[in-house]
Structures are given as structure tokens and as C-alpha cells.
Amino acid sequence: MTSTDIWKTLENLSEKQFKEFKWFLKLEGNAEGFSAIREAGLEKADGQDTVDLMVQKYGCSRALEITMSILEEINRNDLKQYLLKTISSRRKDLKNPDYVPLNCDYGKPKSKLGARKSEIKLMIQKRQMKILEINRSAEISSKSADTHIVHSERVSTVFQQSVKRIMDDLIEAIKEKQETTKKLAEGLVRELEQEISELEKRGCEVEQLSRNADCPDFLQSFSDLNAPPPTKNWAEVSVPLPTYGGIMGTAVNQLEETFRTEKEALLSKAKLERVQQSAKDVTLDPDTANVNLNLSADGKEVYCDDATRNLPDIPERFNLAINVLGKQSFSSGRFYYEVQVKGKTSWDLGVVKESINRKGSISASPEKGFWTMCLRGDQHIAHNVHLSLKHQLEKVGVFVDYEKASVSFYDVDSADLIHSFAHCSFTGKLFPFFSPGLQCGGSNSTPLIISPVNDYI
């Protein structure tokens, strides 16, 4: 293959095509691993000059490759095929010093190299993403470990304090029993000492009377002293030993109850933390918000007020119900978010299907694509089930496991599971659901606030 063949090929280009050919030569990266030819050298170059510049820059075989690549770019595959046929006809001409052995179309290897390059780039990106995932898992694991250490120390402190309190009460109860026994014994001893004193006095009187047997009053005195002294039958008297089994059993029961309570609290907290690792960044979607709802600029807060906003009644918007959806949708995996409800007297939270009715009066139920719970006055309700809670909720966690078809609600502060919907009929996208309720003359004007979740987002 000679440079003449390249020049003859270029002679078949129109003026416009030849200009385009030179433009590609000036383009940096016109072929894999090749740099551009300086524009000044190509500006007034004819066909022969152009070929000379290419051969000088790249060598004959590389110049051939670039020529065929550019011919393909300017839609002159016919000339590319001409070059290939010329090469094929000279395959056996080994004496030709300019011969370039070529077994296949240059375009195909180049295409394969490009595909391979993209494949390698994708492999690198996947591994970089895996590094981020592993680092994030390690970070979450580290934070979780730190949190568990803090909770374990707290449980240990509470348990130690409980043990000390219960032991102090036990010791106090033992000492009280001991003191009671001591006082009883002291009372009996005083009584005995009193009787001993009386008996000693009687003994002295008897001794004196025995010395005066001839006394005229002897018989009368003898009769008086012969009467038994007023004493107790001490044979039946004893000091009962106190028993401590009962109060020690009570102390042990209290310790067991304390341990059980703290263990349950620790397990509940650990379960909630696992759930919190599925936290997603949720924001409110203004296109779905009822016209009486006021949304914060960052999409994290919503409350109802008296103002009616002039907004288009698009299909996505709730036109009567005081509701709004989250922007983010989920159709697989797990997701979790938390909402502050402190200070409110009415609210609804949960998830809904994308296909729910958004116009007119709405009846929320799982059958209609609503998996929600609400507060009405002092009653917490989840689809007609009145929930029994230890105290008023301040922050609620909503957790969805799409594959397990479940929706769960948590009291974030106590880590207690409030309620779960199981065997949910999920189809398609699910959206976070919010209703701050009517403001009720200002008594329910506090906003619902989507809160960050323990640094997991």
C-alpha cells in the first residue's frame, strides 16, 4: 500500500468533502491515540500535500487507518471499500515496501475498541460505586456500633442505678425488721429486769421476816409475803427470728422486671435503628397540595391556613381533602421517613398508591390504596383500629417493605412499634402521604415537619 493510493482516493472527493476531510484531521482525537495535524499546515494543502502531512505525522499504515475512519465519517464508504479492495489485491505483493498487511476492516476493530473502552469505563464506574457503597455501609456500621455502645452504657447505668435502689430498699427493709426485733427484745428484757427487781425486793422482805418470827404481826406478814408475786409465765415467751425471704424475693422480682424492661427497650431501639437505615429524603410535592395548604420553601413542612391559593386544578391535586403527597415514589425495596407531629391535635400519615382518588370527598382505607394512621383529638387510629399508646406521640416513623407488603408506624422517641399493616396489596408506585388537618381556630396550626433521620440520609 502506497501513499499514492490514499492520494488517488482523495482525488475522488468533492471540494466540500475534501474540506470536511481536512477538518477531521484538525480535530483532536480524530482517531484513537492520534493527535490532530496543525491547522496552519492544512489550510492551503491540496491532496498530495495533505497525504504527505498525514504520512509525516502518523506513518503510512496509521495514515491509512485515519483515512478510512474519516471517509466513514463523511459518508464515503464507497471510497473506503475501494481502499480495502486495493489492499486485498496486493496481499501477496510482499516485495512492495509500502505494502500494509491488513486482514480486516479497520472500522470494525476501532468500533470494538470503542465498545471495549466504554465497557471498561462502565466496569470502573461500577467498582467506584461499590467502593462508595462499602464505605457507606462501613460508616453506617460504625455509627450503629457507636449508638449501640451509648445505649448499652445507658442500659448499664440504668440497671446499676436500679440495682442500687432495689438493694438500698432491701437493706432498709432488713434493717427495719432487725430494729423491730431489737425493740421487742429490749422490751422483754426491761420487763424481765423489772420482775427481777420485784422478786429481789420480795426476797429481802422474806429474809427480814424470817429473822423476826416472834413478832406479833408475823402471821399477817407471812400471809402477805406468801402470796405469789405478779410475774409473767416466761416459758411461753420468746423473740421470733425475723424472716427475710419475702423481701428478698420482692427485690429479685424487681430486678428481673427492670432487666426485662431495659432489655425490651434496647431491642426495640436496635430494631428501629435497622429500619432507620432505609431512610429516604422525602419532600412535599406542591403539585398535589390542596389549595389551603401552606408548604415551606424546602418542601419539609406543611400546615393548613385560611388562605386559598390560586392554583390550577390539575389531576394530581387534592381539591377538597387537606392532603399532600411526597415527591418521591417507591415501587420496590424498603423506605422510611420520620415526621414531627408534636403540638398537633389532628393529622394523617402513611403511604398511598399513585392511583388513589384525589377529587371530592375521600374515604381512606387499604382497599382504596391508603395505608395510614391518624390522630383525632386524643385518639390514635389506624383504619378503624383504636391504638393504645403509652403517651402522646411527638415524632412518627413510617416504614414500608415493598417486597413483604407491609407498612409499619413507630414512636421514634420510645422506639415502640405502634401499628403494622400486613399483606398489603401493593401495585405500582407508592407515595408518602401527609395531612396536617384543619387548623381548628388555631389549635391545630402547628405544621407537620419531615425530620432528618439520625444522619442516615
The tens digit of pLDDT for each residue in 358-369 reads 998 888 999 999
- Domain end, chosen from 83, 105, 127, is at 105
Residue 258 lies in a domain: yes
Residue 331 lies in a domain: yes
The CATH number of residue 46's host domain is 1.10.533.10
Is residue 336 a contact partner of residue 453, using CB atoms and an 8 Å limit?
yes
Q: Are residues 94 and 171 in the same domain?
A: no
Q: Are residues 265 and 292 in the same domain?
A: no
Is residue 408 a contact partner of residue 274, using CB atoms and an 8 Å limit?
no
Which amino acid is present at 351? V
- The pLDDT profile of the chain, 457 residues, written as one tens digit per residue, is 567 788 888 888 888 888 888 888 887 665 555 678 877 778 788 888 888 888 888 888 888 888 888 888 888 888 888 888 877 776 545 445 454 444 334 444 555 666 777 788 888 988 888 898 898 788 878 877 887 787 778 777 877 887 888 888 888 888 888 888 889 889 989 988 888 888 888 778 767 766 665 565 555 555 555 666 677 788 888 888 888 778 878 888 888 887 777 777 777 788 888 899 899 999 999 999 999 999 999 999 999 988 889 999 999 999 999 999 999 999 999 999 999 999 999 999 999 999 999 998 888 999 999 999 999 988 999 988 999 888 889 999 999 999 999 999 999 998 999 999 999 999 999 999 999 999 888 889 999 999 998 654 4
Is residue 402 a contact partner of residue 330, using CB atoms and an 8 Å limit?
yes
Q: Are residues 316 and 181 in the same domain?
A: no
Q: Are residues 264 and 354 in the same domain?
A: no
Residue 269 lies in a domain: yes
CA-wise closest residue to 70 among 10, 115, 117: 10
- Number of structural domains the chain divides into: 3
**Cross-strand bridge partners of residue 409:** 398, 419
Q: Are residues 244 and 329 in the same domain?
A: no
Residue 437 lies in a domain: yes
- Cell representation of residue 40: 496552519
Q: Are residues 297 and 420 in the same domain?
A: yes
Residue 115 lies in a domain: no
The CATH number of residue 412's host domain is 2.60.120.920
Q: Are residues 223 and 324 in the same domain?
A: no
β-sheet with 430-435: strand ranges across: 324-325, 430-435, 346-353, 370-376, 379-382, 385-387
**Is the alpha carbon torsion for 403, 422, 366, 275 positive or negative?**
negative
Residue 23 lies in a domain: yes
pTM value is: 0.55
Q: Are residues 302 and 446 in the same domain?
A: yes
Is residue 397 a contact partner of residue 275, using CB atoms and an 8 Å limit?
yes
Rounded distance, CA 176 to CA 10, Å? 116
Q: What is the DSSP letter of 67?
A: H
Residue 123 lies in a domain: no
Q: Are residues 395 and 270 in the same domain?
A: no
Q: Are residues 433 and 338 in the same domain?
A: yes
Which amino acid is present at 33? G
Rounded distance, CA 274 to CA 294, Å? 33
Greatest alpha-carbon span in the chain = 178
The residue range of the domain holding 44 is: 3-105
Q: Are residues 299 and 434 in the same domain?
A: yes
The tens digit of pLDDT for each residue in 406-456 reads 999 999 998 999 999 999 999 999 999 999 999 888 889 999 999 998 654
Q: Are residues 76 and 171 in the same domain?
A: no
Residue 199 lies in a domain: yes
